Amino acid sequence: MTSTHAELTKRHRAVLPDWLALYYDEPIDVERGEGRHVWDAEGNRYLDFFGGILTTMTAHALPEVTAAVGEQAGRILHTSTLYLNRPMIELAERVAELSGIDDPRVFFTTSGTEANDTALLLATGYRASNQVLALRNSYHGRSFSALAVTGNRGWSPTSLSPVQTAYVHGSRRRGTPFAGLPDAEFTAACVSDLEDVLGQLNGNVACLIAEPIQGVGGFATPPDGMFARFKEVLDRHGILWISDEVQTGWGRTGEHFWGWQAHDANGAPDIVTFAKGIGNGLSVGGVIARAEIMNSVRANSISTFGGSPVTAAGALANLDYLLDHDLQGNAARVGGVLREQLDGALGRIPTVVDVRGKGLMIGVELAHADGTPAPEIATEVLEEARRGGVLIGKGGLEGNVLRIAPPLTLTEAEAREGGRILLAALEKAGRS
């Protein structure tokens, strides 16, 4: 059925859930992508600075990934975890080797939500407790248990829960109690909050689940080393640490391959979850855990689509490309160029109150002169940037943080062009 753009939007709204968000007054009908660009059905070209919410990790239509997917699809589209699956085994070996976890085991899922669900299943089973900890303002997915550890209230539609969650400070956002403290004091305050929460719970706690940099939460970035201090406390109680690397993994932060490494390059979490970028748009997610934790589940299970040959082959080609071309290094270099440009808005454009993040994961927080969050200006910036030819995201508890996370092959020229358009959009928004 062919439809005009307006009809398509109407059809979308009529048949999909109300809570499935659509960006822009006139939603974009994305038709094609190549490199760092996408095109809509009208032929307009955009620099993609959001990459399908950090899924397009390397580039759109990366020939290596397309070829690997095509080749594998031509042989067999799907088999079952009941049989040997070469691409899945190879991908698991590669992920295990990169994980930094001792004696690692890898389980594949099809999404980040499912990965976190599995991690919670492992941790609560291993520790024989359904009491868990999460950070305030977190986002871990939209399933029954992932929502139960999601502190972002916009994503907590149910108070019924398969786990008991206690929330800990650790999200450095403006307007929260410790946010203005210098790094060391912020960390100390959060560690003491963690100890207080544990004191109140006074029982067996299974795990802490946390994002190294909060994604949906607006790229809220804790001081380096904070999670290492958390880990000292958790280790004393035997509590497991789950690092949700769905947005921060695979070198996006530039300085490290995993987000957790900013805290202690040797102090690996007990469990790491991943998704999004590894598949470059294919639905691959998973969990890495020490063997004793992974194998503590008593089951005779399958994962029907987890690690399917086609997605695993695509993810392998994507990882090869990422490592062969040092895209982590590129994220640091080109991310630095973009960051410098955006930092220039601080003190010059009054609504810009913070620029944060690492590598190619940059957040720009917007507020009014009286310090209150400015989500409507963030929305205006998105529209204006789109008119200028750049797609970005927004996030944060109040929706007042711009999220900028281009594919990691971004060139310096593209960074400068996109940065210039974003600065112009920031200057213009909120004026009228």
Name the site residues for ligand PMP (rule: CB under 6 A).
53, 111-113, 116, 139-141, 211, 215-216, 244, 246-247, 275, 285
**Nearest distance in Å: CB 305, ligand PMP:** 13
* Strand pairing category for 131-135 and 104-109: unpaired
294-301 long-range contacts (CB < 8 A, ≥24 apart) are: 294/105, 294/107, 294/122, 295/105, 296/122, 296/125, 296/126, 297/121, 297/122, 297/125
The one-character DSSP state at 80 is -
Please state, in angstroms and rounded to a whole number, the distance separating the CA atoms of residues 164 and 173: 24
Q: Which residues lie across from 48 on neighbouring strands? A: 391
> Could you tell me the two tokens for 226?
């904070």
Q: Which is nearer to ligand PMP, 139 or 260 (CB)?
A: 139
Report the nearest approach of ligand PMP to the CB of residue 139 (Å). 5
Query: What are the angstrom distances between the C-alpha of 94 and each of 38, 90, 301?
Result: 30, 6, 23
The angle at the Cα of 23, spanning 109 to 341, to the nearest 5 degrees, equals: 95
Residue number, 107 or 139, with CB nearest to ligand PMP: 139
Q: How far apart are CA 379 and CA 362, in angstroms?
A: 17
Cβ closest to ligand PMP, residue 35 vs residue 217:
217
Q: Which is nearer to ligand PMP, 244 or 384 (CB)?
A: 244
> In this structure, are residues 271 and 103 in contact, taking their beta carbons and an 8 Å threshold?
no
Please state the closest distance from residue 285 (CB atom) to ligand PMP, in A.
Answer: 6
Give the C-alpha separation, 350 to 363, whole Å: 16
Q: For ligand PMP, which is the closer residue by CB, 33 or 277?
A: 277
- CB closer to ligand PMP, 109 vs 124: 109
Q: How far is the CB of 393 from ligand PMP (least distance, A)?
A: 10
Residue 140 or 198 with smaller CB distance to ligand PMP: 140
CB of 71: closest distance to ligand PMP in angstroms? Answer: 25
- List the alpha helices (DSSP H) in 160-225: 183-201
Coil/strand/helix, residue 30: strand
Task: Please state the closest distance from residue 269 (CB atom) to ligand PMP, in A.
Answer: 14
Nearer to ligand PMP, 206 or 287 (CB): 287
CB 278, min distance to ligand PMP, A: 11
| Residue at shortest CB range from ligand PMP | 112
Strand order in the sheet with 401-404: 352-358, 361-366, 401-404, 393-395
CA atoms of 163 and 144, how far apart (whole Å): 9
